[in-house]
Amino acid sequence: MKSRAFTQIDVFTDQAYLGNPVAVVLDSEGLSDEAMQQFARWTQLSETTFVLPVSEAAKAQGADYRVRIFTPGGELPFAGHPTLGTAHAWREAGGQAQHPDRIVQECGVGLVTLRRDTLAQAWAFAAPPLQRAEPKSDELTRVCQALGLDPSHLLRAQHLHNGPHWLGLLLDSPETVLALEPDHAALKQTGLKVGVAARLAAAPVLIGRANREARAFAYQREPSSPAPAASQEAELEVRAFAAAIGIPEDPVTGSLNASLAQWLMAEGVLPQQYTASQGAALGREGRVRLSQDASGQVWVGGHAVTCITGHVML
């Protein structure tokens, strides 16, 4: 074991502790797969990342660093908020990109490009290519039962795969999304990570009731204080349930929002630029900016804030 530089970043927020945290080990050379997995289980965050030098082949293609991404339950080939959080931590630690206007990350899905979102003054990553498939009726039945969702509230459903695999569900209203109280054990038995979303009305939406995990982990507030409201500027309310990989509910999820945007923009449900709100049921106020450029590439962006810096023994 040795002392390694470490930082914890809050992603998809410009205010610390309102987004989704990711733990970043900045010097991971020499760590075994088992050591990385054990540390990811110990942090108990949805993702922990380990920064490594790039391979020679990737460096020749413009890659600046390599990252491995672990949940408490296993390794992921790609994930959104760890990508933005790791890039933020790497830059703060003195990392210098080969090109000043972009960062290229090597990870399990290959090379992922990040660019500066000048309008939002934040970084955005290029969503990996999406594969889609229609879900089977029995899958939807089991998932709706596990979510406690009346199928009459379900508008569309699609398997979404852009590295991580999500079952995406478009529901009829943000009230339906925020009122869900899933049976996470039943969701885990389906083996599926499930993302639910609904278009937001012009007026802000308040949480009708929090689920069991929200009561346990949401920030403490005065009894008279209202639950966090979805932003009027946001156009999509999102929740992500990932009991299949040991995470009952993820606060703010880049990979899910990327695949939802790729799917729903292609279907004409959402415009080519919008903001998603996620995390309200957990006392968070995550905001994800989605945009599609002229080539059809979807970009996923958001702010990141450093919360913890120091060293870990690994």
**pLDDT tens digits for range 4-44:** 999 999 999 999 999 999 999 999 999 999 999 999 999 99
Clarify whether residues 137 and 256 are in a common domain. yes
Q: Are residues 142 and 275 in the same domain?
A: yes
Whether residues 121 and 140 share a domain: the answer is no
Do 287 and 178 have their domain in common?
Answer: yes
Q: Are residues 56 and 166 in the same domain?
A: no
What confidence tens digit (pLDDT) does each residue in 151-167 have? 999 999 999 999 889 99
Distance CA 157, CA 269 (A): 13
Query: 72 with 100, same domain?
Result: yes
CA distance to 34, 184, 223, 291, 293, per residue, from 272 (Å): 42, 33, 39, 5, 8
Of 177, 175, 280, 289, the residue nearest 234 (C-alpha): 289
Residues 96 and 163 in one domain: no
pLDDT digits (tens, 9 = 90+) for 118-135: 776 899 999 999 999 999
Based on the fold, state whether residues 253 and 135 are members of the same structural domain. yes
DSSP track, 149-185 = --GGGEEEEEEEESSSEEEEEEES-HHHHHH----HH
| 220-237 per-position pLDDT tens digit | 333 333 333 344 489 999
Global pTM value: 0.85
Structure confidence at residue 207 (pLDDT): 39
Residues 202 and 225 grouped into a single domain: yes
Q: Which helix (H) or strand (E) holds 25?
A: strand 20-25
Domain total for the chain? 2
pLDDT digits (tens, 9 = 90+) for 60-117: 999 999 999 999 989 999 999 999 999 999 999 999 999 988 999 999 999 999 999 8
Instruction: Render 94-135 in DSSP notation, one character per residue.
Output: T---SBTTEEEEEETTEEEEEEEETTTTEEEEEPPPPEEEPP
Q: Regarding beta strands 247-250 and 273-278, do their DSSP bridges make them parallel or antiparallel, or are they unpaired?
A: unpaired
Please tell me the distance from the alpha carbon of residue 151 to that of residue 157, in angstroms, as a whole number.
Answer: 11
Give how far the C-alpha of residue 197 lies from the chain's centroid of Cα atoms, to the nearest Å: 14
Map 179-229 to HEC letters: HCCCCHHHHHHHCCCEEEEEECCCCCCCCCCCCHHHHHHCCCCCCCCCCCC
The pLDDT of residue 204: 38
Residues 288 and 146 in one domain: yes
Residue 85 sits in the same domain as residue 214: no
Structural domain boundaries, residue 53: 3-126+302-313
The pLDDT assigned to 215 comes to: 36
Let me know whether 211 and 307 are in one domain.
no
The token pair at 26 is: 């900045």
pLDDT in tens, 191-228: 999 999 999 974 333 333 334 343 333 333 333 333 33
pLDDT digits 0-9 by tens, 247-258? 899 999 999 999
CATH number reported for the structural domain that contains residue 215 in this entry = 3.10.310.10
